[in-house]
A and B are shown apart, each in its own frame.
Chain A
Amino acid sequence: QQQVKQSPQSLIVQKGGIPIINCAYENTAFDYFPWYQQFPGKGPALLIAIRPDVSEKKEGRFTISFNKSAKQFSLHIMDSQPGDSATYFCAASRNYGGATNKLIFGTGTLLAVQP
């Protein structure tokens, strides 16, 4: 059973555009929602994360919007650049900070930013 659904599967935007990637989760016990960026040949790198007590978090050009009632969260990339071209994964876990931070990942979004 897939617990984190991610869309779209792929996305093409022009330089300077604002790609938006969406994720929906089912388990209301999830309390930690990170986004990872993965380049070919590399491991996923933590980009930004949010807890359910806030509705938005910004770090540089990256913003997470969180809607607890809808059980959805999304990643926005402001002023996107060709260097942002990568695969983006959302994830979720429960009992963050406890004994384990077992992440359940979405299926990934391949983003291409055209110059």
Chain B
Amino acid sequence: DTGVSQDPRHKITKRGQNVTFRCDPISEHNRLYWYRQTLGQGPEFLTYFQNEAQLEKSRLLSDRFSAERPKGSFSTLEIQRTEQGDSAMYLCASSQGPTYGYTFGSGTRLTVV
């Protein structure tokens, strides 16, 4: 297993467009997380899945954001009607069981122009 994989690595989109990111976790990990990181800040929690169930969502996750994890494997994060304030690094992480030293992917850098 090569770790947590995220696609694409970079995305430039025009304001108002929809974008979708994909995350493939480590195969034996049943927990999957999405975080967002802006310049000069640490990662901020967005949402958490255990298997296919989305168990927690941050209030940062407005109604323009939706995340899915069908069949408890890969996950997608969609942002509708993107705004310039959505420009950030979107990080996915996974873990096995109730451990907090989870593994991050390299992230998807979104730029909204």
Chains A and B bind each other: no
Binding site for B on A (CB under 8 A): none
